[in-house]
Structure 1
Amino acid sequence: MARKPLSQLRVKAKPALVIFSVLLLGNILWFIAWLIPNGSKDGGKEVVATIDKTEITRQDWMLEMEQHYGRNTLRDMVNDVVMKKAAKKFKIDVKPAEVDLELALMRSTPEEFSNILKNMSIEQLRNKVYTDIMLNKVLTKDIIIDDKEVEAYYEDNKALYEVPTSYRTNLIVVDSKNKAEAALKELQSGSDFSVLARELSIDTNSANLGGDIGFVTVTQKGFDQNLANALDGIKEGNISQAIKMEDGNYGILKVIEVIPGQSFTFKEMKEHVRVELALEQLTQSVAPESFWDEFNVSWFYGETN
């Protein structure tokens, strides 16, 4: 049975990990925001919700959150610090170009990449990718992969490293040409695209996001081909004319950002492929917690891992 390309595995796994990390970060922020005012004696008795005459206090709420999310949140924070210390100890560095490469590879699956950006900013994503690369390098530091194996994998999967031009796009969909032209007039008069998308667009999913459909490419499966064909002719920051879609509706596109396509050479991909191949050789037991004893970790939950 042929082995599935590593980059596909990585791209499919990363969004779930990233979104999970965002949720953990959100929990941390909730804890901080609500614990800071608790300097007074009665801080824990503050009522945060009432249901008829039943009250839920801040203390009840925080205890429930800690029980459900506290362990994983703290573990994530500890692992982040441990990995940074391990990287420093073993003199492992992550260059900005490596982060750029990972982000470019993620953009090769624009729909999944767009879903990630619904949950975090590009800067937050860069930080997360940086940490992931550092972790993978630390975990694979003692695994040797022959250069011939790395090059053979690259040659067998070269198509994975051809990343097409992607367009960060907003969309308004209406059911007639007259409505599309009326919407265009409003936009030309200064109406905000995202506000108009929420008011007029019959594409419910994007309308709820102010028309944001994330990054798309001209060859993306499942994306209306007539809209895709128009993308290349729209300059960054500009709005299209009314475009008749394959289903008979009319779309208006606004291109927010254009990221040119890239082709990555073996030299550029060598370290990335080496680490991915090395990760395949790891057992499930190898994780950041494996370094806890080395860095004398102790935490609220007692046992270290």
Structure 2
Amino acid sequence: MSKKLLLSIIVILLITNIASLTFWNNGEQTSVSEEDEGVPAIDAKKPVATVGDVEITYENWMSSLRSNHGEKQLKTLIDHQVVSQLAEEKGIEIDEKVIDREVAMLTAMQGVMTKEELDKAEEGWRKDIRYRYQLEMLLTEGTEIPEGDMESHYQTYGNQYNVTPSMQLSHIVVEDEETANKVVEELDNGASFNMLAKEYSTDEETRDDGGYMGYIFTTSQFFPTGYEDVVADMEEHSYSKPFEVGSGYAIVYLHKRLSAIDFTYEEMKPYIRSELAMHELDQTLNANPLWEELDIEWVYDE
């Protein structure tokens, strides 16, 4: 790939990343900022902030960003572009099922998130996961790992690659059906499940956390009796009708459902190979060695 084409791609990525285009007009530098999702458009001719009578200009802000973060951010963009181009050139593709597994594991470590928040986070996770696996495979290309070592690794750690089905739940437990119906009525009228749990729930372990129970494996002995049948047909981000439990009545909220993901040895073999090869080479996950495979010029070379 030519230097001119690679530099063009990097420039496009930079413009997209900061959503700002700077150009010269009759000897004056002018900046135009495009509105990004959830971020208001910025008028570069106006102060970006004021503190008392002191204005912080757009130019002050951009200069600070370039000085403090510019090189690191540009290197990250180049690293990702290098890995993407080399992976495409060498036919290195990452199975979506493997990415789904990593996303599920990251999701299970989060607290309560709205669908919009989770969708946005997942988009970033998927890019990072694909980059990491492709980088690992590029760095270990040509390193031979004995079949027996890979099979032994899978036999020992294979279960750790699988995802056990789980549900992210909150609940409100009350003493009687009348109170339960009152809670549901308030929910129907738009009240917060979190706030109602703090107000009404008799479950001392979860009440102060808005009834939040976390992710619970559906096969776990700690999964509350009767809850799985109730949530089986529920949609995510919805609450149930009141149902009877040992200590009264409960209303359960299903935040997220994580399905089972299982892998055979053949499915995981390419990833086990690169994992073991990274260990054998004592290699750090850094794209620097790959820069030599492409013609790269950047402003910090000057």
Which TM-score band applies after superposition, normalised by the shorter structure?
0.5 to 0.7
2:101 maps to amino acid = A
Once the two structures are TM-superposed, the CA of residue 231 in structure 1 deviates from its matched residue by 3.5
Q: Cα distance, 1:123 vs. partner?
A: 3.6
Taking structure 1 as reference, are residues 197 and 290 closer, same or farther at Cα in structure 2, changes over 3 Å only? same
Give how far 1:196 is off.
1.9
CA distance in 1, matches of 2:250, 2:152: 44
Aligned length: 261
After the TM superposition, which of the residue ranges 287-296 and 149-158 deviates more from structure 2?
Answer: 287-296
The 3 A distance-change label for structure 1 pair 272 and 291 is closer
In structure 2, the partner of 1:164 is 164
* Aligned residue runs from structure 1 range 57-72, under 5 A: 57-72=57-72
CA contact (8 A) 1:111 1:216 kept: no
Counterpart AA for 1:103: D
Secondary structure at 1:164's aligned position in 2? coil
Structure-2 change in CA distance of 1:266 and 1:287 (3 Å): same
TM-score, normalised to structure 2, is 0.68
For residue 53 of structure 2, what is the aligned residue in structure 1?
53
Q: Identify the match of residue 103 of structure 1 among 100, 104, 120.
A: 100
**Could you list the runs of 5+ residues in structure 2 that have no partner in the other structure?**
1-13, 32-43, 199-205
Aligned mates of 1:204, 1:48 — CA distance in 2: 42
SS in structure 1 of the partner of residue 239 of structure 2: coil
Instruction: Say what the alpha-carbon RMSD is for the aligned residues.
Output: 4.1
CA distance, structure 1, for counterparts of residue 297 and residue 272 of structure 2: 35
Correspondence 1:236 to 2:234 = yes
Letter in 1 for 2:274: V
Aligned counterpart, 2:151: 151
For structure 1, the 5+ residue unaligned runs are 1-26
Residues 106 and 49 of structure 1, relative CA distance in 2, 3 Å threshold: closer
CA offset at residue 197 of structure 1?
2.7
- Within a 5 Å distance, the mapping from 1:189-228 to structure 2 comes to 190-192=188-190, 196-197=192-193, 199-202=195-198, 216-218=216-218, 225=222, 227=224
Shift of 1:65: 1.9
1:31 to 18, 23, 26: 18
Q: Deviations over 1:75-113 (max 9, x none)?
A: 111011111222233x23214xx2322422553575326
- Give the fraction of aligned pairs with identical amino acids, expressed as a percent: 21
Cα deviation, residue 266, structure 1: 1.4
1:129 deviates by 2.1
Distance in 2, Cα, partners of 1:260 & 1:286: 30
